[in-house]
Amino acid sequence: MPLDPTRVVDRLGELRALTGDENGAQRVAWTDTWARARAWLADWLSDLPLEVERDPAGNDWYTLRGASDRAVLIGGHLDSVPNGGWLDGSLNVVAGAEVLRRIAEEGTPPVTVRLVDWADEEGARFGRSLFGSSAAGGSMADPDELRKLVDRDGVSLPDAIGAFGVDLDRALDARSQLETAAAYLELHIEQGPVLESMNLPLGAVLGTFGVERWRITWTGQAAHAGSTPMDQRRDALAGAAKLALAIRDVARETGAGAVCTSGNVTCRPGIVTSVVETAEQLLDQRHLDAGKLASMLARAQELSRGFAQEERVEVAWDRIWNIEPILFDEALIELADEAIAEVAGTSHRLPSGPLHDAAEVCRSGVPTVMVFVQSLRGLSHTKLEDTKPEHLELSVAALDRLAAKTIARVARGS
């Protein structure tokens, strides 16, 4: 049977009915509903000649053996946030299953093809995202931190995953799964407004943004709002306010998708009758280019020192968290562009703001690419998350073409 994209949309509807309620998808990892979704997938694929395996990190693998052990991987995640959407994660798994069926029915492929359903991408229950893929990719460096995590009901992470046969001490053994991987492909909803605003169904993803998160503390002098003349104030909020506006220009001048956000300013004493003595400001900067990200940070710091001088206040910067940009494979981006252009006429290249399992696989050294399909109104992690059925069908066709091109490329050994 040839590829049947409408079957993917039907199947996604079936999964939605099986594992959702009036508030949305309820496939939270390490719960019975999640297990039901995974059993449903296994059942759907049971008539194909696949090797089925759950690895030590709880990832489910469906392997179609090819003439060569070198493997092309297609991955996604069936888990969702509570009250989540019907497509985030599951689109990639269900579309990947349809592609695997198409390939299996054509006989033995030249290289091995594997579908992976990653365990706990969302981290909704314990606050730790990308559990299964970070174990397989080898970046899970914090098992002792993970051991301490408990959910809202007081259940510990080791107990919750133990119920699914996963032992934290052995989770990193999942690394062996990527030893034969030659390429990793992931289709996902965009979860943002870019493709919709360009009126395009699909885009090839360049990589995931690097992020710099900082706490900036401005220190001035509390003084009476009535008796302190304007020219004698040391107003900490004035520095924070100038920076909050200036970072918009920093992002605009940097361009190429640059974003800067001042997400909060907390003022003390925080009363109507006093000049602000301390203003604690949060800053988030993101870019796909590590050099540009570094220069945006340097520029914001330089501006802040100028504002501090103008306002006669002190400024101090403390890093909260950062991650480097993760760039996908250029040759695979090229193939994704071709596949998208073939099914949709036009392709567009864009970065990903959110992290995905693909970032962990890419970081571990496996050539990786993602395809985004338009999200209506840019919404996700809500029951309002949606994509037009015709766009979903195009996305399945694009993933299938991309898989075929990647298999041919890996088979040629290039």
Establish if 88 lies at the interface with Zn ion (CB under 5 A). Answer: yes
Residue 379 β-bridge partners? none
User: Which residue lies nearest Zn ion, judged by its C-beta?
Assistant: 89
Nearest to 251 by CA among 292, 305, 281, 194: 292
Establish if 132 lies at the interface with Zn ion (CB under 5 A). Answer: no
Establish if 84 lies at the interface with Zn ion (CB under 5 A). Answer: no
SS3 of 86-118: the string is: CCCCHHHHHHHHHHHHHHHHCCCCCEEEEEEEC
Establish if 186 lies at the interface with Zn ion (CB under 5 A). Answer: no
CA 190/CA 122 separation, integer angstroms:
16
Establish if 79 lies at the interface with Zn ion (CB under 5 A). Answer: no
Name the segment binding Zn ion (CB under 5 A); options: 83-91, 156-164, 256-264, 371-379. Answer: 83-91
Nearest to 355 by CA among 123, 57, 48, 138: 123
Q: Which residue has the tokens 């996700």?
A: 380
Name the segment binding Zn ion (CB under 5 A); options: 86-94, 147-155, 199-207, 341-349. Answer: 86-94
Name the segment binding Zn ion (CB under 5 A); options: 84-92, 109-117, 257-265, 287-295. Answer: 84-92
Minimum distance from residue 188 beta carbon to Zn ion (Å):
6
The number of CA neighbours under 13 Å toward the Cβ of 220 is 28
CA 369/CA 179 separation, integer angstroms:
18
| Closer residue to Zn ion, CB minimum distance, 88 or 190 | 88
Instruction: Please list, in sequence order, all residues whose beta carbon lies within 8 angstroms of the beta carbon of residue 39, skipping any fewer than 6 positions away.
Output: none
Establish if 89 lies at the interface with Zn ion (CB under 5 A). Answer: yes
Name the segment binding Zn ion (CB under 5 A); options: 89-97, 192-200, 243-251, 278-286. Answer: 89-97
Establish if 75 lies at the interface with Zn ion (CB under 5 A). Answer: no
Establish if 386 lies at the interface with Zn ion (CB under 5 A). Answer: no
| Closer residue to Zn ion, CB minimum distance, 204 or 276 | 204
121 neighbors 355 (Cβ within 8 angstroms): no
Q: What is the dihedral of CA 155, 152, 77, 173, to 10 degrees?
A: -30
| Closer residue to Zn ion, CB minimum distance, 15 or 407 | 15
Phi and psi at residue 122, in whole multiples of 5°? -75, -30
* Element containing residue 281 per DSSP (H, E): strand 278-287
| Closer residue to Zn ion, CB minimum distance, 88 or 400 | 88
Establish if 85 lies at the interface with Zn ion (CB under 5 A). Answer: no
Minimum distance from residue 13 beta carbon to Zn ion (Å):
19
Minimum distance from residue 174 beta carbon to Zn ion (Å):
19
Establish if 109 lies at the interface with Zn ion (CB under 5 A). Answer: no
Minimum distance from residue 116 beta carbon to Zn ion (Å):
13
Residue 287 β-bridge partners? 210
Establish if 58 lies at the interface with Zn ion (CB under 5 A). Answer: no
93 neighbors 121 (Cβ within 8 angstroms): no
Binding site for Zn ion (CB under 5 A): 88-89
